[in-house]
Amino acid sequence: MPCEKIVIDEGADVCRFRIENDPPLCRRRGEYLCMDAIQDNLPNLSHSAREMWVSCKRKYFLNKVKGIKAKQDKISLPLKNGTMWDKFIENQYGKSHDLSQLAFKLDMTELEIARFNAITHVYKKLKLADRDTNTFELQKKIVIPGDGINIVGYVDRAYDDHFVEVKMSTRPQYYAEPFNIGFQVGIYFLSNPNWKYVVMEVARTPTMTWDRENMDLGKYEEVLAKEIYKKAPMYFPGLKRKDCTYGKKYFRSEFPLDNIAKTYERVNDEIKEAARKGEDWFYQSFNCSSPYPCDFLPICKDNVISNVLFEMRKKPEEEGE
């Protein structure tokens, strides 16, 4: 639908649905960004947005431009575990997130909660946050101004000379290779020349099978916690029990920062070009199920946006509704 213009003063006209914002939004239901303004005022580019663009341009369009997102209880299990773990770690460093309420919103099963409880119990038993008395900032926002688009991100814990990234994964070894984490940590290094290294604190997602026939969930959680504690270095790679620390350190010199910066600039140019043409938001089917099914796959397959699976991002004027 084309924008409907109204004259607001001599020689100037704007769409009556436009919401002045940065970038401008659209007031119409089912729309998010103002399509007239998107060519010159794109949403911020983050590491996740860059990954989204590279993996599938239609996914980027649906999420960033149309403002569609999967409902919290419909996201994939790895994302649910990651969300819970992030908030748990923040609580160990001074926050007070209600994890029970979050688990309810994420629609986690009792088995998933039992596994989560088991590894958090061991984390506390190992006192992995207790000896960190240095000054830090949780979820520190970084911004790198660019040509028509800003590069942004949030560092899990920021210190004077380094930062820490927190992850939970069934494959912690993925984060043990600088090549795999370069684009995320690289942009953080570029934002702050004082950061000399990053510590990747990656915990392994518990997956031990539950013997439903011979134990209830309470017993399963207890047995799993003992198993995690017994094999703690496997669940917390880089664990140093005496120091009460875990994780692996990478120095900024290990990352090709110039090439990383150029890649972000290139993605920036591609997104601006697609917005200018208004039609280059095609999907890439070879990424639809890798590493797990895309949240937007039902939309691409059926061309229908289900209000059971998806919701729209809130606009400023809707925050109070």
Mark 214-248 as b/e (b = at least 16 C-beta within 10 Å): eeebeebbeebbebbeeebeebbbbbeeeeebbbe
Strand partners, 96: none
Per-residue pLDDT at 284: 74
Closest CA to 268 of 93, 21, 41: 41
Residue 258's SS3 state is helix
| DSSP letters for 79-141 | HHHHHHHHHHHHHHTT----HHHHHHHTT--HHHHHHHHHHHHHHHHTTTTTT--S--EEEEE
Q: CA-CA distance, 314 to 25, in Å (whole number)? A: 11
Domains assigned to the chain:
5-72+278-318 (no CATH), 74-261 (3.90.320)
In which residue are the tokens 């439903």 written?
212
CA angle, corner 311, sides to 91 and 103, nearest 5? 30
Could you read off the pLDDT of 51-74 as tens digits, one per residue?
999 989 999 999 999 999 999 999
Strand partners, 190: none
Per-residue pLDDT at 8: 45
Give the residue ranges of the chain where pLDDT is below 50: 5-11, 321
Residue 236's SS3 state is coil
CB-CB neighbours of 196 under 10 Å = 15
Which two three-digit tokens encode residue 134?
């240095």
Q: CA-CA distance, 50 to 52, in Å (whole number)? A: 5
Ramachandran sector of residue 277 (left: φ over 0; alpha: ψ -120 to 50; beta: rest): alpha
Residues 6+ away with beta carbon under 8 Å from 292: 76, 78
Q: CA-CA distance, 93 to 80, in Å (whole number)? A: 21
Strand pairing class (162-169; 197-204): parallel
Per-residue pLDDT at 59: 92
Q: CA-CA distance, 47 to 188, in Å (whole number)? A: 10
Per-residue pLDDT at 4: 53
Phi, psi at 33, each rounded to 5°: -85, 150
